[in-house]
Structure 1
Amino acid sequence: MTLTFEEILAARGAEAGLSFTPRQLEQFGKYYALLVETNKVMNLTAITEPEEVAVKHMIDSLLAWEAGMEGKLLADVGTGAGFPGVPLKIYCPNLKVVLIDSLGKRLKFLQQVIGALELKDICCEHLRAEDAGRNPKHREKYDFVTARAVARLSVLSEYCLPLVKKGGQFIALKGSKYADEIAEGSEAVKILGGKIISAEPVKLPGLDDGRAIIKISKIKTTPAQYPRKAGTPEKQPLGSR
């Protein structure tokens, strides 16, 4: 018997310690259907099988959730097809979310998702991360900033930490080389006003591929010269020799 996407997500979620309401499962199901349909004409994801999307996209995104997110403001940088921002919004309905991406086509897809899932207090911003960080509307305005598979930590910190308010948190969802990224990026984190508070390995149901979640607290205001202009962080990562 073939399980539906919602049934797979519920079962795998339970293995990861997550439980969903019927409404949340319905929303995740619609999200999956839109993702697969749109992926036929636009490259949103390399994986489309229900099991893989449930675990590697939805549950992976939700491992960034923490109890203090209720009612707070979160920016998801380089959101792509909406991960982790949209799953976090579905799971925590009173979280306020801003999805930031440099590609208008992807944001058009996400607007469709927001409408179909009837999500409130979530919007899209068509911006490069470096430009967002210099924009008074976004600079140091967010309680939480998330990013998943966007760039290595030395570069990613310059994209994300300028958006985090003092006392807020930057959450980076990382792969198996996270320890190397921390060693390489810790100086950049410090320069930008952050402090690494934890780097926890996380295990996805049925997978053992060495993922981790790095949490960085914003302890000081980011110096005014950061982020540097678009393209510079990637070419000349902060703290690199």
Structure 2
Amino acid sequence: MADRSTLQIQLEQGIAALGLSLPTDAVSRLLDYLALLERWNAAYNLTAIRDPAEMVSRHLLDSLAILPHVKGETLADLGTGPGLPGIPLAIAAPGRQVLLVDSNGKKVRFLREAIRALKLEGVRALQSRVEEVEGSFDCVTARAFASLTDMLAWGGHLLAPHGVWLAMKGKTPEEELAGVPSAFVVRGIHALAVPGLGSAERHLVVLEHANP
């Protein structure tokens, strides 16, 4: 198993490859989050990925790859699971109010412990189905938790009038684009080069209200 210094080098190289400039303590805090996730994962099976080095690329760097597209003062991460991409984004760009939403009780218990242990100010976790969440957010993120049609039907009411919806996908979701509700418009589809993922495809679909 990779030790922390090896993981730190991998993470720092990945952040550099993404062209990101993060707060001075961000790498250390991201590794603290990873260690906490690894520890809880042994008992609660929060993620199928067990190898810490793989977690760096598939969880941390995958989440950080969308950072340049995140905007606004408030963010809701829907179907966040163990906090992805919400927690890495909160660590990388502190100061934003972040709501982590998941319907799974054990994942939300982990989220609350992570928020406490990592002292994540402005971050809170909510156990709820997406369609029952209330609020208005400048940015909404969702990491492959549903089709574009379903995620917008369930959570579209959460997007502020001039907000941006960031849907993280693997391959380009060509077959899903026709199902985007008429109230929303696709502003762009970006191929993401995530360090350490090799040939695995990652795409970000950026949506906004059609008539804000």
CA distance in 2, matches of 1:28, 1:87: 7
For these two proteins, the number of residue pairs brought into alignment is 209
Structure 1 residue 67: deviation in Å? Answer: 6.2
1:218 corresponds to 2:209: yes
Task: Please report the RMSD computed on the Cα atoms of aligned residues, expressed in angstroms.
Answer: 1.8
1:47 corresponds to 2:49: yes
Match of 1:142 in 2: 137
Structure 1 residue 78: deviation in Å? Answer: 0.6
Match of 2:171 in 1: 176
Please give the residue correspondences for 1:77-116 in structure 2 after superposition, counting only pairs within 5 Å: 77-116=78-117
Contact 2:172 2:203 in 1 (8 A): no
CA distance in 2, matches of 1:67, 1:174: 15
Structure 1 residue 165: deviation in Å? Answer: 1.1
- Structure with higher Rg: it is 1
Higher relative contact order (CA 8 A, sep 6+): 2
Helix, strand or coil for the counterpart of 2:177?
Answer: helix
- 1:35 pairs, out of 37, 40, 43, with 37
CA distance in 2, matches of 1:169, 1:178: 18
TM-score, scaled to structure 2: 0.91
Structure 1 residue 160: deviation in Å? Answer: 2.5
Structure 1 residue 19: deviation in Å? Answer: 3.5
Residue identity in the other structure for 1:217: E
- State which drifts further: 91-100 or 10-19: 10-19
TM-score, scaled to structure 1: 0.81
Unaligned 5+ segments in structure 2 are none
Unaligned 5+ segments in structure 1 are 222-241
CA distance in 2, matches of 1:144, 1:20: 19
CA distance in 2, matches of 1:10, 1:167: 33
Structure 1 residue 14: deviation in Å? Answer: 1.2
CA distance in 2, matches of 1:130, 1:67: 24
CA distance in 1, matches of 2:54, 2:122: 28
Contact 2:76 2:100 in 1 (8 A): yes
Contact 2:71 2:164 in 1 (8 A): no
Please give the residue correspondences for 1:1-241 in structure 2 after superposition, counting only pairs within 5 Å: 3-66=5-68, 69=71, 72-132=73-133, 137-138=134-135, 141-183=136-178, 185-186=179-180, 188=181, 190=182, 193-206=183-196, 207-220=198-211
Structure 1 residue 21: deviation in Å? Answer: 3.7
Structure 1 residue 159: deviation in Å? Answer: 2.2
Structure 1 residue 177: deviation in Å? Answer: 4.4
Structure 1 residue 8: deviation in Å? Answer: 1.4
Residue identity in the other structure for 1:57: H
Structure 1 residue 91: deviation in Å? Answer: 0.5
Contact 1:76 1:147 in 2 (8 A): yes
CA distance in 2, matches of 1:35, 1:68: 24
Contact 1:160 1:170 in 2 (8 A): no
Structure 1 residue 62: deviation in Å? Answer: 1.4
Per-residue deviation, residues 85-119 of structure 1 (Å, max 9, x unmatched): 10110000011100011112111101111111111
Residue identity in the other structure for 1:14: A
CA distance in 2, matches of 1:69, 1:116: 26
Identity over aligned residues, as a percent? 33
Helix, strand or coil for the counterpart of 1:66?
Answer: helix
Contact 1:8 1:50 in 2 (8 A): no
Contact 2:22 2:93 in 1 (8 A): no
